[in-house]
Amino acid sequence: MLFEIDPQPLAEELTALGGVPLVVRAFRSLGLPVAIREHVHIKQGERGYDEATYVESLVVVNAVGGECPEDLERLREDAALSKLLGHDFPSLRAGLEFLYPFHDEQKIEEAKRRRAPDEIAYIPEESASLQGLGRVKRSLVQELGSRCAEQRIATVDQDATIIEIRKQEALPTYEGERGYQPMLAVWAEMDVVLADQFRDGNVPAMMESRRAGWRRRRSQRCPGR
């Protein structure tokens, strides 16, 4: 025989997501865990993961193409990946309990009451937790700006993009399908999102565009310089 088959399974742990540690290394090297601990306060006790670990885990879900919190359970099954990152992934229940405080139903009701009689769309104010994430994002942009000594121009491209979603609560967009239409302000030269605003699908792109965090402008100095 040219080879023999060993019926015993290998003891080594393997993962198909070997590129994820590079994403996490960038996440940590940019100082995001420190910024998250400073600006995002969700947990009520000391047990379990801290806010930075939750956010890092959700970033990994996004990086590997995940589309919903349930994908946390698939990552929890990858023991090799958890070992590479230095922590397990939160359970689905824990992940949802972390995400719920970012939603503030009271601010949605307040936005509805502020609508003019002939208006259908509305844009609620961000919850305190979302505002904390916004401060983390500003910290990230400042850190990137401090590292881009050669990048002296920042062209800001602001636009809303339709994201088709089949969720029942998603509203119809101007194209007819259900979905959301978030507003993004992108640093064109660096392909970095500077500011964002989550919006329902029926919100016109030009509605309160300045509230997304940036005015339309041709260019400005590199952030952090």
How far is 103 from 90, CA to CA, in rounded Å?
20
Average pLDDT, the chain: 89
For residue range 29-39, what is the model confidence (pLDDT) as tens digits?
999 999 999 99
For residue range 58-78, what is the model confidence (pLDDT) as tens digits?
999 999 999 889 999 999 999
How far is 51 from 56, CA to CA, in rounded Å?
9
- Of 94-98, 164-168, 215-219, the poorest mean pLDDT is in 215-219
How far is 17 from 76, CA to CA, in rounded Å?
13
| Residue of 182, 137, 186 lying closest to 158 (CA atoms) | 186
pLDDT of residue 13: 84
For residue range 108-145, what is the model confidence (pLDDT) as tens digits?
999 999 998 889 999 999 999 999 999 999 999 999 98
pLDDT of residue 114: 93
SS3 content of the chain, % helix, strand, coil (to 5): 40, 10, 50
For residue range 193-221, what is the model confidence (pLDDT) as tens digits?
999 999 999 999 888 876 665 544 444 45
pLDDT of residue 215: 47
- Percent of the chain past pLDDT 90, that is, above it, reads 69
pLDDT of residue 179: 94
pLDDT of residue 47: 80
Q: How many residues does the chain have?
A: 225
| Residue of 181, 147, 148 lying closest to 164 (CA atoms) | 181
Q: What Cα–Cα distance (Å) separates residue 2 from each residue in 5, 6, 8, 136, 145?
A: 10, 13, 19, 58, 59
Report whether 36 contacts 51 (CB < 8 A): yes
H or E, element range at 197: strand 192-197
